[in-house]
Amino acid sequence: MAGLDGLRVLDISTGISGPFCARLLADGGADTIKVVDPMGGDPTSEEAAALVKGGDLHSSALHAFLNQNKRGLSLDIKHSAGQAIFKQLAAKSDVVIESSSPGTLDELGLGYKDLATVNPGIILTSITEFGQTGPYKHYKGDHLAISAIGGWAFCYGEQDREPLQAGIPFMYHMAGTYGAIGTLSAIQGRRQDGKGQHVDVSAQEACLNMLAYPQMLAQYHGTSLPRSFAASMQTFYLKAQDGWIALNYLSPVEWENLCALIGAFHLAVDPTLLYDMEKKREILPELMKFAQEWAKDKTQDEAFQAAQELRVPAGIPYTPKEMLDSEQFRSRDFFHKTSQPGLGTFAQPRNPFKSPSWRSDWQPAPRRGQDNDEVLTDIGMDPEYLRKLSDEHVI
Amino acid sequence: MGKDLLKNIRIADLTHYRSGPSGTTLLGGLGADVIKVESIQRLDGFRLFNTLDPKNSAFYEMGPYFNGCNTNKRGLTLDLNSVDGKARFLELITKSDVVIDNFSARVMDGLDLGYERLKAINPSLIMVSMTCFGQTGPWRDYVGFGYTFDQIGGASAVCGYEDSPPTNILAASDAISGIMAVYAILLALEERERSGLGQHIDMSQVETLAFLMGPNIIDYQLTGAIKPRMGNQHPVFAPRNAYPCQGEDEWVTISVESDLQWSALAIAMGNPEWVDDPRYATMASRKRNERDLDKVIADWTRGQQKRSVMELVQSLGIASAMVLNARELLEDPHLKDRNMHKKLDRKFTGEHLYPQFPIHYSDAICEQRMPAPTLGQDNEAVLADLLGLTTQEIEKLRQDNVIGEELLLGAGSG
């Protein structure tokens, strides 16, 4: 039995954060219903679909990833009949996940107060760019903007060039995960008094929590690290025969081992090097010379194995191809074969950690409105009425 | 104000450095009793990073990073290599709901504190093991930390400037696996509500990051193409970048996602002729001429304050944001309005503002409650009040160096 069996979630969010949050809950076994506009769909899936040649709304990798294990309902919640149906659904649900601009649901008569009237136990989780309150609450954001105003970009990149976002939408993954935490902790709290609540998650603030404490450094030392991919000088990217390899170290012992590995014993003798950034910067060219010499006639894998043998925490900057080929991932069944209608058959990551609480009955991402009949007759709606709604594009 | 959502949940926290502690601090912020276990023989190594005063005998109490990610926890020392330390730890386990560690896979078994043993004394225990590569597989015992996860988890290869080597991503995977561990715990607690049983969560931090690469992994199999590093650019939309503003290292981002937005921006920039200019009129042509566009936009932003640009561009309905540095985060009016930094007073280091969590509840408390514990700060409270030891028993543990409140000289860090 999955951990969240018996929980029902209505996912009316778009973008990445909200659907990612809902997917974590769906993977955990919650009956998660993805609600989309009957005419519009989910713009994020469409945007991504444009990237896949000949793709339509349902044949995008992002849609397949974000919406698996959810059921599909199309419902126009801007229409009064749609709003009435949504309330009936909310009355029989535990959680609503949404990502609209603050105030939008209130205007539709579907805000927290409206939902709590029909279901005092309901948990409304809003995951937005800037949160429900404050002067920026109606600002438009994207991953780049959030990375900038959440403090990430200033630290990431090189000093003499423009600040950067990360190349994958981490801030939204973080916001989505915080959304799932906010939701399940509110479910825990509901056991105290039967009451749900409104949970407000901000992507900007998720970004703030992704930082390696530059605010602490600024206050303690009055300084900040220079913008650099390797400000701490604890990682060195080297060219091996068939691609990049990285040597990293954290502890003094690992530093000694790293120097021994590349034959630069003379750099290991001065332990103060580790804590003196100036000195470290001075010896960097010398270190890189030895390291590059060491790496150049090895394959990535040979270099990685040799380093790990000496307990140097090395890494290979894996591409998807290398991840799929990796013996380590394979031995743990990390990838599983899936079929997404309209898209094809492919392997994808199973779950972010191993636990008996994940659901075992995997389902592909739903087509728009694929489960309308099942979901709506479940709450007692008449098939005749459903046909009428369909004709009016409410569903 | 509101409920303590995780009251009555106790976490025995063996994690060190960043990945575990950055998650358990949130559990404490939600009202769980988080007991951070170190020893006077092996400190959390994060204590040593960027310490305020390396020459001070209490240098390990002065680390900004450690103090940043260990708020909301009580501090206990126990030498887990000693017989008495193990015995007290097992007693703590009988009174805990969760135990969490981020050692290499072999460490807990090596201490004879593996899941099977702990489960035998507390069947409802939830154990989270945050290893590099997992409990199984040929790389089980290989070593790694945040940067290693960034690399093998697949992020480094797609992050950076389009012309730069792969990059580490500020060990972002530490932050991700930290909160994913919190989700794992909440999921397991839900299951325990019904089954009454605990479980062992096998988290490979490499896999936690690799999970997020799902769309790229699917894309690769569908198209055969490996996504390149793209800086701030978007595969379809343009312009989209960070642009220099008035002052030293001041920047603002602008992301244009439609022709309509482009028209509004071109007019606001004082160049209405660019609306129909064939170089810029469509998304495809803007994407082709992205480099030129970046130059003309930079020429426009360079003489302006970043805040003015953001406010103007936002008023057009276009995503735009200032690049904020650490100081500015502390002073930003929006973050201030949302109470995102809270002042805490800590022994040895005094008052500082600590970042708060991104979850705001209408009826629950989620905030920084207390500063990071000094070494062994709550030894008495935990050993006497929770485990029922007498003053004499506690003193004996102290004499035997099983517990203590100061680093044992000559000892190292974890």
Question: Distance of CA A363 to CAs A12, A29, A69, A73, B413, Å?
Answer: 19, 11, 5, 15, 46
Question: With the C-alpha atoms ordered B279, B285, B287, B288, is the resulting torsion angle positive or negative?
Answer: negative
Looking at the domain that runs over A235-321, which CATH code has it been given?
3.30.1540.10
B392: closest CA of chain A, how far (Å): 37
Q: Are A207 and A174 in contact (CB under 8 A)?
A: yes
* Chain B, window 309-348: residues with a beta carbon less than 8 angstroms from a chain A beta carbon: 314, 317-327, 329-330, 332-335, 337-338, 340-341
Question: With the C-alpha atoms ordered A364, A365, A367, A373, is the resulting torsion angle positive or negative?
Answer: positive
Question: Distance of CA A295 to CAs A73, A240, A314, B203, Å?
Answer: 54, 5, 12, 31
Quick one: A384 exposed, middle or buried, by C-beta within 10 A (0-12, 13-18, 19+)?
Answer: exposed
Q: Look at residue B295 and give its three-state secondary structure.
A: helix
Instruction: Determine if residue A278 is left, alpha or beta; phi over 0 gives left, psi from -120 to 50 gives alpha, anything else beta.
Output: alpha
How many Cβ contacts (< 8 angstroms) between chains A and B? 472
Tell me how far the alpha carbon of residue B322 is from its chain's centroid: 23
Q: Given pLDDT bands bounded at 50, 70 and 90, which one contains residue A59?
A: low
Is A312 or A57 the better-scoring residue by pLDDT?
A312
Q: For residues B376-400, give the mean pLDDT.
A: 97
Which of A33-47, A271-285, B79-93 has maximum average pLDDT?
A: B79-93
Q: Are A9 and A34 in contact (CB under 8 A)?
A: no
Residue of B222, B317, B357 with shortest CB distance to A209: B357
State the amino acid at position A160 in one-letter form: D
Asked if A148 and B164 come within 8 Å (Cβ–Cβ), the reply is no
* Chain B, window 359-378: residues with a beta carbon less than 8 angstroms from a chain A beta carbon: 359-364
- The complex scores an ipTM of 0.97
Nearest-angstrom CA–CA distance, A263 and A292: 11
Question: Above 90 in pLDDT, residue B231?
Answer: yes
Using a CB–CB cutoff of 8 Å, tell me whether B245 touches chain A. Answer: no
Q: Give bridge partners of residue A354 from the DSSP assignment.
A: B202
Residues of A in contact with B359 (CB under 8 A): 178, 181-182, 185, 199-201
Nearest-angstrom CA–CA distance, B197 and B188: 9
Residue carrying structure tokens 């030894």: B379
What does the pLDDT look like over B153-200, one tens digit per residue?
999 999 999 998 899 888 899 999 999 999 999 999 999 999 999 999
Q: Given pLDDT bands bounded at 50, 70 and 90, which one contains residue B211?
A: very high
What the block records as the tokens of A69 is 């294990």
Using a CB–CB cutoff of 8 Å, tell me whether A292 touches chain B. Answer: no
Question: Looking at residue B80, what is its pLDDT?
Answer: 97
Q: For residues A329-345, give the mean pLDDT.
A: 94
Residues of A in contact with B191 (CB under 8 A): 1-3, 356-357
Asked if A334 and B255 come within 8 Å (Cβ–Cβ), the reply is no
Percent of chain A with pLDDT over 90: 75
Question: Looking at residue A275, what is its pLDDT?
Answer: 66
Q: Closest by alpha carbon to A366, among A390, A342, A332?
A: A342
Q: Which of A14, A160, A220 to mutate to test the interface with B (most CBs of B within 10 A)?
A: A220
Percent of chain B with pLDDT over 90: 92
What the block records as the tokens of A156 is 């990431």
Using a CB–CB cutoff of 8 Å, tell me whether B211 touches chain A. Answer: yes
Question: Looking at residue A316, what is its pLDDT?
Answer: 97
Question: Above 60 in pLDDT, residue A121?
Answer: yes
Question: Above 90 in pLDDT, residue A342?
Answer: no
Structural domains in chain B, CATH included, are 10-213+340-413 (3.40.50.10540), 240-330 (3.30.1540.10)
Question: Looking at residue B411, what is its pLDDT?
Answer: 53
Q: Given pLDDT bands bounded at 50, 70 and 90, which one contains residue A55?
A: very low
Q: Given pLDDT bands bounded at 50, 70 and 90, which one contains residue A252?
A: confident
Q: Given pLDDT bands bounded at 50, 70 and 90, which one contains residue A199?
A: very high
Q: Are A8-210+332-391 and A235-321 in the same CATH fold?
A: no
Q: For residues A270-282, give the mean pLDDT.
A: 73
Q: Return the axis-axis angle of helices B306-315 and B259-268, rounded to nearest 10°.
A: 130
Residues of A in contact with B152 (CB under 8 A): 315-316, 318
Q: Closest by alpha carbon to B23, among B73, B78, B93?
A: B73
What does the pLDDT look like over A142-167, one tens digit per residue?
999 999 999 999 999 999 999 999 99
Question: Looking at residue B409, what is its pLDDT?
Answer: 75
Nearest-angstrom CA–CA distance, B64 and A390: 59
Using a CB–CB cutoff of 8 Å, tell me whether A221 touches chain B. Answer: yes
- Which chain A residue is nearest to residue B142, measuring alpha carbons? A308
Question: Looking at residue A44, what is its pLDDT?
Answer: 59
What the block records as the tokens of B218 is 């699917």
Q: Are A366 and A375 in contact (CB under 8 A)?
A: no
Q: Are A137 and A102 in contact (CB under 8 A)?
A: yes
Looking at the domain that runs over A8-210+332-391, which CATH code has it been given?
3.40.50.10540
B208: closest CA of chain A, how far (Å): 4
Residue carrying structure tokens 């029902």: A8
Query: In angstroms, what is the C-alpha Rg of chain B?
Result: 25
- Which chain B residue is nearest to residue A277, measuring alpha carbons? B50
What does the pLDDT look like over B88-134, one tens digit per residue?
999 999 999 999 999 999 999 999 999 999 999 999 999 999 999 99
Give the residue extent of every domain in chain A. 8-210+332-391, 235-321
Q: For residues A40-68, give the mean pLDDT.
A: 65
A81: closest CA of chain B, how far (Å): 29
Question: Looking at residue A45, what is its pLDDT?
Answer: 55
Q: For residues A101-129, give the mean pLDDT.
A: 98
> What rounded mean pLDDT belongs to chain B?
95
* Chain A, window 44-73: residues with a beta carbon less than 8 angstroms from a chain B beta carbon: 47-48, 50-53, 61-62, 64-65
Percent of chain A with pLDDT over 70: 93
Residues of A in contact with B145 (CB under 8 A): 248, 250, 313
Residue of B157, B171, B323 with shortest CB distance to A153: B323
Question: Above 80 in pLDDT, residue B312?
Answer: yes
For residue B215, the number of C-alpha atoms closer than 13 Å in the C-beta half-sphere is: 26
> What rounded mean pLDDT belongs to chain A?
91
